Structure formats: structure tokens, C-alpha cells
Structure 1
Amino acid sequence: MNEGLAIAGGLAGLAGVAGSAVAGLTVVRRRGSYLASGHALARPDDIDPLPGVFRRGLGGLTVPVTPGPRGELFLGPGAPQPGRTLRRLVLTPLFARARGNGGRLARDQPVPFRLVVEVTGAVRDAETLLRAYRILDQQLRDHAALLSHCDGDDLAPGAVTVSVTGIVDVRELLAAQPVRYAFADGSFDDIGSRSAPATLVPMISESWSRRFGWDGLEPIPAEERHLLHAMVRSAHDDGRTVRISGLPEGPRKARAAIWAELGAAGVDVIADHDQRGLARHLRKNPVSRWVAREPLPTRAVRRNSPRPQAPRTERHREAV
């Protein structure tokens, strides 16, 4: 699937083109500073996670939150701390930046910024988790014009795409909404699933260690390299982007070896705590992508949900 998007005007006029039989594997070298493939994982002790992401030009952020009083989602471990809310530290500055830049976060932003909201905390009952999503949904609707959203089968990419993880029943909540401004995080098991179409689960997010054992210290086994490339191709053919996190802890050289393999396989989003090292690596080693040999559309286009048995040739799909 092609992850390239054109951002038209100041609104959500972005659209992508999926990889197909007429596409070629090409290395896309971005002239600007925006690293669409770079994704920051906020640490629990991060006081203010967003400025570093902006400074390094990373294209996404995963932030853990817990529901708290006064209808807010709070960052950080332990009891909610005054002022440390998702709204104040992430949503407000993120969308203020987009509005100040004419509907994008950076002049050379080619795809939506990917914000992954991970609901954490010791309290995991259904009522608490449902309340967490309702809080998030209400806060996102204040920024509807800048968000990727889905209205029925109409998928309109925007400057920011929000995915939700950590809520077991979030897919049912999202699917029941006629218009939604957030999406469910998926896994490779969702490929080809009629119950989890790309309009509901546009991004596959998995931990490296779930399926791979290579730690980057030695050359990658041929079997693991083949599996990685095959799974990424399958996800792209199914109209989804791929995000890999949970990389092994180790020396930066070993981590860089894994980043390089992920980039060579066309993984759309590489997530890591080591923001500085990842940003430096991606500037020197751009991610390989499927690039369609035709102009990109400049507005959102209606697309149906993917069908497992449908032909895989010349399928166009917005990437969010």
C-alpha cells in the first residue's frame, strides 16, 4: 500500500494510493525534515512528550493515558497529576500547530501524523474503559476538521489520525458510530477480516517480539527476513499500514540493524523510545515504499471496505 498522501488546502484533503501490480519498490527520499516513518513511544516519566517529537520531525507518537476526574485523560503513572492531561499536553498543542501551518504539522508532511492513545491503568472494568473512550471522543470532536475520520464507508484522511489501544471492546464502540474520529489498533491477524475492515482498523500495530526473535546482534535469519517481508506485503495488499514497536533493548548498533530491516521491508511506522537515534537513522536510511506510477488524488475519495476474496490489482485506498 502506498502511504504517500497529498494534503490539500487547510483541511483533510489527503489521499493515498495502494501498492499494486503496476507499482515498483522505490526508496523515497524526503527533502524536508518530516520523518513520516518515525514514531515516538512516550515513556511513563516523560513530563511533556510532544516538543521532542516536533523537534526531531517524527511522524507520530504513542502516549499512555489513564482516565481521571473532571472528564480528563491523564499522562504518567500513579495518581492523576494536575495539568498533566492529554488535552493540555498533546491535543491542544498538536492541533494548534496544524492550524498555524495551514492544516498540516510541517510544510513537507506527506501523510497524517499518527497519534496512538494507549489506555492504561490498574482499573480495567468495562465501565471505566468505556468512559475513557467517551472522554477521548468528545475531545477529538473539538478538532474534527483536522482529523482523519470515517463516515459510513467514506474514509477521509486528515492531518492527524488517532488510533486507540488498550480497550478490549473499542472496535464495537467505534463500529457503532456513524461518524468516528478515531480508529482501532490492529494486528496481522486482522488481514483479510470482514469484521475488521481497513476503515475500522487501518493500521496494524505489533510488537517485534511477538513474532520475531532476532535481536540485531547477528545477521537476521533468512526465515525471519522472509516472514517480515511477506507479512508487510500482505498488510499493504489488504489496504493497511504497518507499525512495529517493542524492539529488543540493546546497543544502538543492534537496534539500528533492526530499524534497517524494518525499513527495507517497507514497514510504514517504526516506533521506538530512542527518538534521537531513530531520527538520525531514518534521515540517512529512508524507508522503502511502494510507489504507484500515477498522480496522487488531492481529495478524499469514497472507498469500500476491503474484501478478502476481491482481486488485488489496482486497488486504490486512502492511507490513514
Structure 2
Amino acid sequence: MIAGGLAGAAGVAGLVAAGISLSRRKGSYLAAAHALARPGDVDPLPAVLRRGLGGLTVPVTPGPRGELFLGPGAPQPGRTLRRLVLTPLLARARGHGGRLARDQEVPFRLVVEFTGAVRDAETLLRAYRMLDQQLRDHAALLSRCEDDYLTPGAVTVSVTGIVDVRELLATQDVRYVFAEGSFDDLGTRAAPATLAPMISEPWSRRFGWDGLEPIPAEERHLLHALVRSAHDDGRTVRISGLPEGPRRARAAIWTELGAAGVDVIADHDQRGLARHLRRHPVSRWVAREPLPAMTARRPSPRPNGPRPDRRREPV
């Protein structure tokens, strides 16, 4: 009886261990899932990578010597963008053959959001130059734009919150940072896809539906039309700023965004968003500018041949 009891206990322990192993097993890379770091998040990146999310928005504040510190408050020692986000993110990509995950097909989208009370142009420019230099130290892993040609990398970095950032970026022949666009940029020359490859708007800017009731037909039509226009213009679409309602209501909005083909859905609720997108993937997801195969080598361009036109391929 004792032997049988021990055998039974061992069997139960084995099942529990197997269950824990399965629960810890990493899921597929969720290119459409984008995390919004909260101001009080001490170290936002590990949870994002552990859940397989395809992007992260972090608020930063310029500090001494142009260094960027996480959060909108006073700079805290050690809590820099370089130390907590850039270095570990790009080290992971370097250690995995140029990818953050084996099944990553499009770049991880890192959005650096300048916040805080310091808004003078000189301070912001100095902070951008610091960011630009930090990124150039990892150039081989980053998406870049050179002479209006986009080349994807493991990570695409965009900035928001800097006044006149488009004019600043447009002066660089080779850049590793992109601006964020809006639906108002579609069909205009103010911010071409090579400068602002991703349309990024808060939900409340154009929509009033909160997910508690069925979506109005006119709002659904507008959402599908805007996403289709952005894709036709060679850009991806990121929607953030969803209503802070119950998860059931947010899940209803996530479902509508996925059905419309929104490329990137941003939310504070990382766990809920990841679980939802694993069950309900974004409709018609197409990697218009996929990362190259891990073992493939890029052929050298012909000395006198024309360069391929890649201006409308979003990153």
C-alpha cells in the first residue's frame, strides 16, 4: 500500500511538473501585440519579451548629459533607456541570430515617447543625438533608412513627443529612428512612408465606441477604410489609447481591430491582450517587409544595376 501510494504521488507530481512546464513554454511571437509601459514600471522589458509581444512604448525624460531616463518624473539613477531597454533588447537579438524569437517575421517596434516638463528644443535635440548615437552602436540589428530605401532589422525604433522631429529626421541621409504618422498623412508628402512608416493614433481621436455595446456600423466602416488606405499607402497601423473599461469591453475592441487588419494593437493589459491575440489572430496579417532568413546571405548589388524600389515597403 505504501509503495502504491508513493507511486501514485510520484505520478501526480509528474503531471504537475508537466503542467508547469507547459505553462512556462514560450508561445509564438505576437507581432500585433504592443505593450504600453506604465509610468511606474521599474523594468518594463522582461515581461514583454517573456510574453512574446512584438513591441513596446516607453515614456522617457531627458536627463543630465542628454541621457534618457524611463518615466515622466525626475531622473532616477540607473533607470535609463540604454540600460533597461536598448542594451538587453539588442543583446537578445544578437544572441539569437538577428531575431528576438525564432518565429519573428517583422521587426519588434520600440516607440520612445518623450515626456516630462522639459520641452525646450535644445534639450530635446541633445537627447535625440544621444539616442541616435546609442542606436548606431547597434546598427546591424536595427531597421534603417538610407537614401529613401528601407532595410528592416530585428528592431524598428520610432520617436514621438519631440517638436519638429520630422524635420530633424529628414536631414539625416542614414537614420535608425523613424517618426510616427497619422491618418492625416495618407496621400501627402508631409511625411512619406520612408519617414513615418507606421500610422499611430489613439482610438478616441476618431472613434467613440467603448466596447460595451455593438460597434456602430459607420465606425466599423471607417475603421476598415482607414486601415485599408494606410496599407495601400505602404504603411502599418498602430492603435493605442483604448477605453479603460472592463476587459470584456476591451476584448470587443481588440476583436474589431483584428478583424479590420490593424497591424499593431497597443494596450496596458499585456496578459489579456496576449491571450486574446493567441486565440484571435489579426485578420489578413501579411509581413510586407519580412526579416531575411536567419541563414540567408544577401546578394551584393550589381555595380551598375538599378536599385530596387523599396520606398513603399513599411518597417
1:259-270 to structure 2, matched below 5 A, reads 259-270=254-265
Partner of 1:285: 280
Letter in 2 for 1:59: G
- Deviation per CA, 1:229-286: give whole Å up to 9, x if none: 0000000000000000000001000000000000000000000000000000000000
1:208-223 to structure 2, matched below 5 A, reads 208-223=203-218
RMSD: 2.0
- TM-score, structure 1 normalization: 0.83
Letter in 1 for 2:117: A
Match of 2:124 among 110, 120, 129: 129
- Deviation per CA, 1:48-91: give whole Å up to 9, x if none: 00000011100000000011013310002321100000000000
Structure ranking higher on relative contact order (CA contacts 8 Å, 6+ apart): 1
Partner of 1:313: none
Partner of 1:158: 153
- 8 Å contact from structure 1 (residues 153, 303) kept in 2: no
- 8 Å contact from structure 1 (residues 171, 184) kept in 2: yes
Task: Please give the alpha-carbon distance, in whole angstroms, between the structure 2 residues aligned to 1:113 and 1:40.
Answer: 11
Residue 303, structure 1, aligned to residue 309, structure 2: yes
Partner of 2:197: 202
Gaps of 5+ in 1: 1-30, 306-316
CA shift in 2, pair 1:128/1:71, >3 Å = closer
- 8 Å contact from structure 2 (residues 106, 291) kept in 1: no
Indicate the structure with greater helix content: 2
Sequence identity of aligned pairs in percent?
86
Task: Please give the alpha-carbon distance, in whole angstroms, between the structure 2 residues aligned to 1:318 and 1:44.
Answer: 33
Task: Please give the alpha-carbon distance, in whole angstroms, between the structure 1 residues aligned to 2:27 and 2:308.
Answer: 30
CA shift in 2, pair 1:35/1:120, >3 Å = same
Task: Please give the alpha-carbon distance, in whole angstroms, between the structure 2 residues aligned to 1:165 and 1:211.
Answer: 19
Task: Please give the alpha-carbon distance, in whole angstroms, between the structure 2 residues aligned to 1:157 and 1:292.
Answer: 11
Letter in 2 for 1:303: D
Q: Hey, which bits of structure 1, 4+ residues long, moved more than 3 A? A: 290-293, 295-302
Residue 45, structure 1, aligned to residue 40, structure 2: yes
Partner of 2:101: 106
CA shift in 2, pair 1:292/1:138, >3 Å = closer
Structure whose alpha-carbon radius of gyration is higher? 2
- 8 Å contact from structure 2 (residues 105, 291) kept in 1: no
Match of 1:91 among 74, 86, 95: 86
Partner of 1:27: none
Task: Please give the alpha-carbon distance, in whole angstroms, between the structure 1 residues aligned to 2:111 and 2:291.
Answer: 26
- 8 Å contact from structure 2 (residues 247, 272) kept in 1: yes
- Deviation per CA, 1:158-216: give whole Å up to 9, x if none: 11000110012110110000100010011000101112110001000000000000000
- What is the deviation of 1:289? 1.9
Partner of 2:172: 177
- TM-score, structure 2 normalization: 0.85
CA shift in 2, pair 1:77/1:87, >3 Å = same
- 8 Å contact from structure 2 (residues 105, 287) kept in 1: no
Letter in 2 for 1:71: G
Question: What count of residue pairs does the alignment treat as equivalent?
Answer: 278
Letter in 1 for 2:309: R
- Deviation per CA, 1:270-319: give whole Å up to 9, x if none: 000000000000000000125499x99866974354xxxxxxxxxxx433
- What is the deviation of 1:106? 0.2
CA shift in 2, pair 1:256/1:151, >3 Å = same
